[in-house]
Amino acid sequence: MKWLTREWYDRGFSDPRSLAAWDAYGHHLSEILGELNDGVEALVSDVHIHGAVVDKYEYNNGQLLLIMLAGNESSGYTWVTLTYQGVTQLEPTARKFDFLIQKPTELLHDEIDIIDGMYEHRILCWPEGELRIRFRTLHSELSPGTKEERATFD
């Protein structure tokens, strides 16, 4: 994570340094917004992964699939499927992704960036861990989820 780090999260949202980091990321996002194409724009407009739990992941031949249930009781639940294509870098490596499907792991916040002409999606997890995915294109699918489905992850 570059802006929305573990330190940023641990400080709380009212801390002046946390607010400055949030503002800096917002400024960065506004600068690159016009360059987000190839399905990546959905990460800013449609896909909200805060609090999501990962149900499944697969990595094969430069393609990463993440299937997760996002949302909460107030906003409702949504199944989110993200297919990253042309993946050139993963941290941790796909062999170490098992922490994503272990309880109580949740996805906290994410950042999008453009590095060396490629997209980079960074995800901060709770209670620990981060993901960094460098890729060329993204396909996202959203479908309704339920409170009962979310309860199976607790």
How would you classify the pairing of strands 89-91 and 106-115? unpaired
Q: What is the pLDDT at residue 95?
A: 81
The answer, yes or no, to whether residue 103 has pLDDT greater than 90, is no
Express each pLDDT in 60-77 by its tens digit. Answer: 999 999 999 999 999 999
In angstroms, rounded to a whole number, what is the distance separating the alpha carbons of residues 84 and 86? Answer: 7
Express each pLDDT in 4-27 by its tens digit. Answer: 999 999 998 889 999 999 999 999
Residues 6+ apart with CB under 8 A from 150: 53, 69, 71, 77
Backbone φ, ψ for residue 24 (5° rounding): -65, -40
Candidates 68, 130, 122, 120; CA nearest to 96 is 130
